[in-house]
Structure 1
Amino acid sequence: MPYLSVDNARLYYDEEGTGPPLLFIHGLGSSTRDWFAQVSHFADRYRVIRLDLRGHGRSESTQGPYHMAQFARDVAVTLRTLDATPAHIVGLSMGGMVTLQLGLDAPRLVRRLVVVNSTADARLRTWNDIWFYVSRRTAVQLLGMRRVGKIIAGRLFPKPDQTNLRREFIKRWSQNDRQAYLWSIDAIMGWSVRERLSSLSAPTLLVAAEHDYTPVATKNRIATRIPDARVAVVDDARHALPVEKPEAFNSIVEEFLTSECASSEPE
């Protein structure tokens, strides 16, 4: 299995296909495994790269605390090491935050950004914000990863025909390193790039599931702060959109990426 070393962390990655680099960044408590439907769809036209962030999947769980800037640096070093720049970046949830951070910190490394069911400001502003993060952190400490995974799986995949998705989610979630997960939650709390969005130079697509944790209106407000941004909404979908509705998600991403290719072709 391929690994590379970044700031004393051994990080797992894989790649498949040839063409323009297309990097996928998973969400909190997830891993490269969540992008299987995207690999099969895009690898015939893109060099598809997946990375397990530190403390996730098959990457090393280094000593905390973790920070979003460090996650973004891990991605930046990976892209440089693999000679995969500039790259299209797709990030889900916490991975979307890393995507925005990367686009701002290392703009020359990115081509287009796809931010899925994420935000640009995770500061705890309301009691609801505080409850969401504190309750999740406390539940992990008291109940453990598997029991929390069962609760989350029921929320992400509530339909009767999603039994297999729930089962697979619980299996993968249970494999998380609990302390690394808690450090990752702490990396989210208090993070924000809201005031920097106007300097984001890469074209950006914000993908929003209708029933995501944060409303579509939040994504629309983020888009107004980015010079070149648009929002796409997937109806009757939830937070784990790329897994729940891969065909709809892949189609939206593909249209966004190929529209650039068409506009950049010589006349």
Structure 2
Amino acid sequence: MGQMINADGVELWVERRGEGPDVLLLAGLGDPAEAWQPQLDGLADRYRITAFDNRGAGRTPLPEGPLSVPRMADDAAALLRTLQIPAAHVAGFSGGSFIAQELALRHPGPVRSLVLMSTMARPEAYFRAMTRFWHWMVERAPDERAMLEAFFLWIYTPRAHADGMVDRLIDEALAFEHPQSVEAFQRQLVAFAGHDTLDRLGDITAPALVLAGELDLATPPRLGREVAEGIPGAVFEVLPGEAHQPFQEVPEVFNTRVTAFWREVEARE
């Protein structure tokens, strides 16, 4: 069961599971901690998992003023301090991977390793156009179901649309008691669209695993490869047949791969 935690003056909703080495999970655009349910459930037998709602998502309030990726990275660092976690394996997907990059740059001490799923270092023209569409789509879709049906076209594989997984995820999102407001979605979107670490990736010192889905439309593999090439010693892998969120679609594959990576990091320390 989660709880609200004051992290250096910021109220963050936090979910924690399991025992073992610490893992911090960073969610992406619009997603609460529950987006990581397959990892909260599937990794808690080996790790102490911490996930939380970013500002403006789930139960964490939307603050006044603009959001930014560096500010959300500072939130993550403050949470680690508040929970007295000296070092954690950090994993982020999509916008959460942007936060993870900034966390490793701004607060390298507690970052034991990085897993960056569906990531990029600097938005390209296609991504900027896509996010501009999402910005007005969330306002003009005829209802919330129609908005999610459209949004998830960029997120999940054709397989997930065909086998009913997307329908189930939409039903769960519509039943969620803490839906994200249009304003919060748009402000998070602006923050993530402004992400840029391309010229600073060489300063990241944490061991890094960069994962990309072969079919990802939003952050295609070439963008993840660019991130991996910029981080000294980073490993880059493409997951065949997967899209933007394989940690949800094929959690066993994702969990097995990241667990192997964390064990490699731990063995080298």
Does TM, scored on the shorter chain, surpass 0.5? yes
Q: Is the 8 A contact 2:118 2:220 kept in 1?
A: no
1:135-174 equivalent positions in 2, closer than 5 A:
135-143=133-141, 145-155=144-154, 156=156, 157-162=160-165, 163-169=167-173, 171-172=175-176
CA gap of 1:177–1:7, structure 2 versus 1, over 3 A, is farther
Contact 1:87–1:111 (Cα < 8 Å) also in 2: yes
Contact 1:61 1:177 in 2 (8 A): no
Partner of 1:11: 12
Asked if residue 236 in structure 1 is aligned to residue 234 in structure 2, the reply is no
Indicate the SS of the match to 2:64.
coil
- Describe the superposition over 1:124-155 as per-residue Cα deviations: whole angstroms up to 9, x where unpaired: x42x2332111110111222644311212344
CA distance in 2, matches of 1:96, 1:256: 17
Secondary structure of residue in 2 paired with 1:90: strand
Q: Quick one: structure 1 residues 194 and 138, their matched pair in 2 at CA, closer, same or farther if it must change by over 3 Å?
A: same
For the residue of structure 2 that corresponds to 1:103, the secondary structure is helix
Point out 4+ residue stretches in structure 1 off by more than 4 angstroms: 169-174
* Equivalent pair of 1:208/1:219 in contact (CA under 8 Å): yes
Q: Partners of 2:184 and 2:214 in 1: how far apart?
A: 30
Residue 180 in structure 1 maps to residue 180 in structure 2: no
Comparing 237-246 and 162-171, the one that deviates more = 162-171
Tell me by how many angstroms 1:193 deviates: 0.7
Structure 1 residues 122-133: aligned runs within 5 Å: 122=123, 125-126=124-125, 128-133=126-131
Number of equivalent positions:
261
Q: Secondary structure at the match of 1:211?
A: coil
Structure 2: distance between partners of 1:129 and 1:45:
36
Displacement of 1:111 in angstroms is 0.3
Tell me, which stretches of 5 or more residues in structure 2 are unaligned? none
User: Take 1:19 and 1:4, find their aligned partners in 2: how far apart are those partners?
Assistant: 21
Give the unaligned 5+ runs of structure 1.
Answer: none
Amino acid at match of 1:179: E
Q: Is the contact between residue 12 and residue 51 of structure 1 (CA under 8 Å) also seen in structure 2?
A: yes
Q: What percent identity do the matched residue pairs reach?
A: 28
Residue 161 of structure 2 aligns to a residue whose secondary structure is coil
Q: Tell me, in whole angstroms, the C-alpha distance in 1 between the residues paired with 2:235 and 2:148.
A: 32
Higher helix share: 1
How do 1:91-130 and structure 2 match up within 5 A?
Answer: 91-122=92-123, 125-126=124-125, 128-130=126-128
Q: Give the structure 1 partner of residue 268 of structure 2.
A: 263
Per-residue CA distance 1:184-204 (angstroms, 9 max, x = gap): 111122220110000100001
Aligned equivalent of 1:250, options 252, 255, 269: 255
Name whichever of 198-207 and 139-148 sits farther off.
139-148
- Quote the offset at 1:106 in angstroms: 0.4
Write out per-residue CA displacement over residues 42-83 of structure 1, whole angstroms, 9 at most, x where no aligned residue.
112211101111100111122231011110011000000001
Offset of residue 174 of structure 1: 8.5
